[in-house]
Copies of this chain bind each other. A is one copy, B any other.
């Protein structure tokens, strides 16, 4: 929210592919050029920040800016890359605007990996990964992340559980079964957890019983009210980051 204390007047922050180094000239993608020129009304000489998920954050000066093309001269690194180590989020795809909310907010909250999972009551079984990836990039640019979360192809819940890494606990958000509050089970760093939130309408009873009885799973509660899928995802990620993650 508060952009006041930014040390230099950077006019935009952009995710780019390719390496970043001092003195390098970089061509932006046509849609980035259009955004700088038409939406943000920048021009040659304006300064932007650039990151690629690997080489840290760099200061760059716009050398030339047309309607569909832009060249940026890289100056110096302004922030070092730090190893990405957020929690994972396993979620059942919901309808468009609520799915968008999950992707954007999870990115802001530092999720490392987004795994769409098909459950018995999942409404939206096809997921446009390109669209979701564009949303993670936009959110990462906005929230000043240095990397972009990974997004997996959707897979079925049984498959997910059977190929799950043994050292990563899956916190299954479940209500009405008296599970302990999420805040009470955080015995390790947030980066070693994943959160699982079910579809609107909840897991089928047999499905829930099965998943919470897997050795990887810990059932957790999120208070006395019935949260929507996206609210549960945002709340659980917040608690992980605040109590055992990078908010400490």
Contacts of A6 in B (CB 8 A): 176
A59 interface contact, C-beta 8 A: no
A183 interface contact, C-beta 8 A: yes
Complex Cα–Cα for A183 and B221 (A):
19
Complex Cα–Cα for A181 and B109 (A):
14
Residue among A1, A109, A223 having the largest count of chain B Cβ atoms under 10 Å: A1
Contacts of A234 in B (CB 8 A): 105, 231, 234-235, 238
Complex Cα–Cα for A164 and B248 (A):
30
Query: Which size class do A's interface residues fall under?
Result: 35 or more
Q: How many copies does the complex hold?
A: 2
Contacts of A142 in B (CB 8 A): 226, 228
A205 interface contact, C-beta 8 A: yes
B110 lies within 8 A of A225 (CB): yes
Contacts of A227 in B (CB 8 A): 1, 108-109, 143
A5 in complex: contacting residue of B97, B176, B235, B248, CB < 8 Å: B176
Contacts of A175 in B (CB 8 A): 1-2
A144 interface contact, C-beta 8 A: yes
Question: Given that A1-B202, A234-B238 are contacting pairs, would A247 and B229 also be in contact in the complex, using a CB cutoff of 8 Å?
Answer: no
Complex Cα–Cα for A145 and B1 (A):
30
A50 interface contact, C-beta 8 A: no
A232 interface contact, C-beta 8 A: yes
16 contacts across the A-B interface (CB closer than 8 A): A1-B173, A1-B197, A1-B232, A3-B201, A5-B176, A5-B177, A101-B101, A105-B231, A109-B223, A109-B231, A110-B224, A143-B228, A144-B225, A181-B247, A221-B247, A223-B242
The 6 closest A-B pairs by CB, nearest first: A2-B202, A223-B247, A5-B176, A235-B238, A143-B225, A1-B202
